[in-house]
Amino acid sequence: MMPYQEQFAWVIWRLWNRVNAHVHGNTLTSDKSILDGVIMLQTEYKEANSLSLTHAMPASKISWTPPIGNRLKINVDAATQVSSGRMGIGVVVRNCRGELLGALAKIAGMLFVQN
């Protein structure tokens, strides 16, 4: 069983993906598929981290692409540190010319569930 903090982070990530997929025209997935996906992702994550990397590949360069037309692009990321119970969130907003319009970085406490 995964710690509540990890479980919370996986569920939030899966919910964000569901909303994002729905906004971009894909079908809306069920709540059960969110929970099934969390279990699958957690299993894959643990398996991937248990492997030894004998032939590690160099990281590929990922570049930002501007939004189409006169729109804004919002990039969001989050990270957790289970040992300290902290979570960090970052947001960047750019226009179609790549100009930075706003940014936010926030350290927040994580959800703890008492047994």
Enumerate the domain spans of the chain. Answer: 1-52, 62-115
Beta bridge partners of residue 104, listed in sequence order: 91
Cβ proximity of 37 and 18 under 8 Å? no
pLDDT of residue 75: 92
* Beta-sheet strands, E only, within the chain: 73-81, 86-94, 100-109
Would you say residue 94 has pLDDT above 60? yes
Cα–Cα distance between 83 and 91 in angstroms, integer? 24
Q: What is the pTM of this model?
A: 0.44
Would you say residue 74 has pLDDT above 80? yes
